[in-house]
Structure 1
Amino acid sequence: MGVTRIGAVAAHFGRDLDFDLQRIATLIEHARGSGVSLLVLPDAALGGYLADLRHPDPEVLPPALERDSPRLKQIAALAAEMVVCVGYCEAAGGDRYNAAVCVTGDGILGHHRKVHQPPGEVAAYSAGDTFAAFDTPVGRVGMLIDYDKTFPESARSLALDGAEIVACLSAWPTSITNRAPRMAQDRQSRLFDLYDQARAAENQVVLASSNQTGAMGGMRFLGQAKVVGPGGDILARTWSKAGIAVAEVDVAMAIANARRVHDHLRERKVAAYRRTL
């Protein structure tokens, strides 16, 4: 497959779907101009995230879209030859999910519903129940949303399903209970980077981490989009400002090099792990 240019976006998105689509179109065009083949947009790029995570107001939730929504089809058309991952609020029957799709001009390649939910989110969304990788023109990809990446089992499930690239789409805020005076000193800022690097290194995969910026209600988002190599090394990042972190990676070679001496997936001792399910 050779070298792939991967882009992870840090940007702000709100409730105005037309504005969000215009911003997505601009980001895709900028990424295309930089030669990006895989672009990972943030969680809730269509419609924005919750304004209050502790007590979500049911009157001001993000607009819910069905998976075959014309707006998602429009993003697929904009993607054309590129692979684009984008987060949205999915309407399915009477339920709402914090969800993501991965698309090209041919349509949806993969879909994920956020499995792990912080306490307040259960009032706004139902939970997904699976992790699955899928094939794309840039290799086998799996997606995580926000809090999913806090749990090692999430990314490990994708790696065991053959994912070479893990796309982590986030609307990850600064600490709600103990916000630091400077974002760089915030506990959640440190954890966001730590989880990205750990999930890549422990599974020896490439990880593309996007995030929202700016504020929504009482939520202030971190940014810190990045591309991480299979050794846990940050290859490109945006810090706290909006932008696209772009890294050029020979994914297959990078993974093969990381696993040449220690292959974490192959060297697991499954029989020794106590089951806690």
Structure 2
Amino acid sequence: MTRPVRVAAVAAHFGRDVERCVAKAEGIVAEARSRGVDLLVLPHAVLGGYLGDLRSPGPADLPPALPEDAGPVRRIAEVARGLTVCFGYTEAVAGGRCSTALCVGDGRVLGRHRKVHLTAGEEGSYAAGGSFTAFDTPAGRLGMLIDFDKTFPESARTLALDGAQVLCCPSAWPASVTDRAARLANDRQSRLFDLYDGARAAENQVVLVSANQTGVLGGLRFLGQAKVVGPGGDVLARTGGKGGMAVVDVDVAAEVARARRTLHHLRERRPGAYRGLLDELGAASPGRAGAVR
């Protein structure tokens, strides 16, 4: 017998003050615990915020970079006792920085992911990750994507093929910086954010938990729109553009099995027909230049 998992996706603002960010994250975790949440997904860049500019970011636009064993990171891992928590931050690595997501629980790291797909505004400031790998947690087998990663179907598909039944997606996803809309609901990036969430869940028949930043930092205005999406692409719970927590009980194994009962997308693939993709994979080097594993 499987059991429901109480899943929560958070929309919230996190700025440059790391101590205030940690206190806010601790408060959100405490609220989630009081509501019986098993799996909590926080936004990306919860420790010091995201970039302040995507067009030509300079040193003043960069968030602080922290090693994994830094005090603020450890504090979130410690407060996560009794539930599984995913969150993103800027990680200090040898020679630079990465956009990194950690999954923590009971004071330890259960899984980590370094953002593979960097936007044009990030490429000069961050090193890219080099892989997508699923991992086991008390809340089930999970995989993580960081915002722009979910634009690429191969990212989520790789995690689903690795057995992930839940995709956790911390984001710092802003409104369009080139074609601003008066209302966030009408913004082109708002539409794409929701589209990718539904598509990645439906095409892989998995549960997707999408968290995002809200508010304004520097020249960026963030969308919010945290949500939990079922294996059929249906939104099970969501927030709006402001801060909030989308909470829903999901029997993940049962819902995934039900979605795949008649049409099992992973099993029905025809890899031999994807000649261009296979040729590209065969020609690719083990990791892109500058990738950090």
TM-score (norm 1): 0.98
Partner of 2:269: 268
The reply to whether residue 23 of structure 1 matches residue 5 of structure 2 is no
The within-5 A match list for 1:49-198 is 49-198=50-199
Distance 1:26 1:66 in 2: 23
Distance 2:275 2:82 in 1: 45
Distance 1:266 1:121 in 2: 36
* Paired-residue identity, %: 60
Distance 2:89 2:48 in 1: 7
- 2:140–2:165 contact (8 Å) kept in structure 1: yes
CA RMSD across the alignment: 0.8
Distance of aligned partners of 1:243 and 1:252 in 2 relative to their CA distance in 1, 3 Å threshold: same
Distance 2:55 2:138 in 1: 39
Could you list the per-position Cα deviations for residues 119-173 of structure 1 after superposition, in whole angstroms to 9, with x for gaps in the alignment? 1111111111100000000100000001000000000000000001000110000
Consecutive unaligned residues in structure 1, runs of 5 or more:
none
- 2:32–2:40 contact (8 Å) kept in structure 1: yes
Partner of 1:210: 211
Consecutive unaligned residues in structure 2, runs of 5 or more:
281-293
Distance 1:69 1:102 in 2: 15
Distance 1:12 1:23 in 2: 9
Distance 2:107 2:269 in 1: 37
Report deviation, 1:265. 0.3
Which runs of structure 1 show a deviation greater than 2 angstroms over 4 or more consecutive aligned residues? none
Distance of aligned partners of 1:51 and 1:121 in 2 relative to their CA distance in 1, 3 Å threshold: same
Partner of 1:47: 48
Distance 2:28 2:104 in 1: 15
Report deviation, 1:106. 3.8
The within-5 A match list for 1:2-13 is 2-13=3-14
Distance 1:42 1:106 in 2: 19
Distance 1:202 1:86 in 2: 24
Distance 2:47 2:276 in 1: 38
Distance 1:9 1:124 in 2: 26
Amino acid in the other structure paired with 2:168: A
Amino acid in the other structure paired with 2:138: P
Distance 2:64 2:242 in 1: 26
SS in 1 for 2:122: helix
Report deviation, 1:275. 3.1
Could you list the per-position Cα deviations for residues 174-212 of structure 1 after superposition, in whole angstroms to 9, with x for gaps in the alignment? 011001111111000000000000000000000000000
Partner of 1:228: 229
